[in-house]
């Protein structure tokens, strides 16, 4: 999210680093910080365990593959092509809300995806939807009287992303959805 990375806490930076959603300039700075700051490494390790537990093995592997090869480091020759981004495309779900499917398990009818909300974005409202669990990686998400912050998780019996939630500062979240 342009402009948001300067305001992220170390915990949020580490989460977005692992989710693959840091802008290129922030990615390079955070990679350098990881080499020099033990607290940054601890934050990445914490998120790595949380995300693996939340996502499950197949989706964790898909998330790792989506960010593999992406690097903000500027140590390469200037004539080299920039690192290739994930071959998967982000879909627009609503104005200011995009999503990227990481994994779909046809056998159990579940999907794991990342959603990005720009500052001020509002999730669409739907009367019906599949049960969803979300893990907020960065930012804030207000769902009625509940406001989630980085590191919070939430279960919705219908749908988090279609629950009419909103964000002030923007948000990145991992979502597990199950077919009903």
pLDDT > 90: percent of the chain? 38
pLDDT band at 120, cuts 50/70/90?
A: very high
End-to-end Cα distance, the chain: 32
**Domain boundaries in the chain?**
5-67, 91-178
Give the pLDDT score at 74.
Answer: 40
Supply the CATH classification number for the domain 91-178: 2.60.120.10
Band (pLDDT 50/70/90 cuts) for residue 131 is confident
With CA atoms as reference, report the closest residue to 8 among 164, 175, 108, 149. Answer: 149
pLDDT tens for 10-59 read 999 999 998 888 888 899 999 999 999 999 999 999 998 898 888 877 77
The per-residue pLDDT for 160 is 78
d(CA 113, CA 55): 9
| pLDDT tens digit sequence for 143-173 | 888 899 999 999 888 777 777 889 999 999 9
Phi first, then psi: what are they for 70, rounded to 5°? -85, 125
Q: Name the DSSP class of 87.
A: S
- Banded pLDDT at 177 (limits 50, 70, 90): confident
Distance (Å, whole) CA 166 – CA 17: 23
The pTM assigned to this predicted structure is 0.79
Could you list the beta-strand ranges (E) of the chain.
Answer: 91-94, 97-105, 110-117, 132-143, 146-149, 153-156, 171-178
């Amino acid at each position: 999210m342009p402009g948001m990375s300067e305001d992220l806490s170390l915990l949020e930076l580490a989460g977005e680093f692992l989710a693959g959603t840091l802008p290129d300039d922030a990615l390079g700075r955070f990679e350098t910080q990881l080499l020099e700051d033990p607290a940054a490494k601890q934050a990445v390790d914490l998120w790595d365990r949380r995300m693996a537990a939340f996502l499950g093995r197949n989706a964790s592997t898909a998330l790792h593959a989506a960010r593999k090869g992406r690097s903000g480091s500027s140590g390469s020759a200037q004539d080299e092509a920039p690192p290739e981004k994930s071959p998967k495309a982000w879909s627009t779900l609503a104005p200011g809300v995009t999503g990227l499917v990481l994994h779909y398990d046809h056998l159990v009818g579940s999907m794991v995806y990342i959603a990005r909300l720009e500052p001020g974005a509002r999730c669409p409202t739907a009367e019906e939807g599949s049960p969803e669990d979300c893990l907020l990686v960065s930012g804030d998400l207000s769902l009625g009287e509940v406001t989630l912050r980085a590191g919070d998780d939430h279960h919705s019996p219908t749908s988090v992303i279609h629950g009419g939630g909103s964000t002030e500062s923007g948000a990145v979240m991992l979502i597990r959805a199950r077919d009903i």
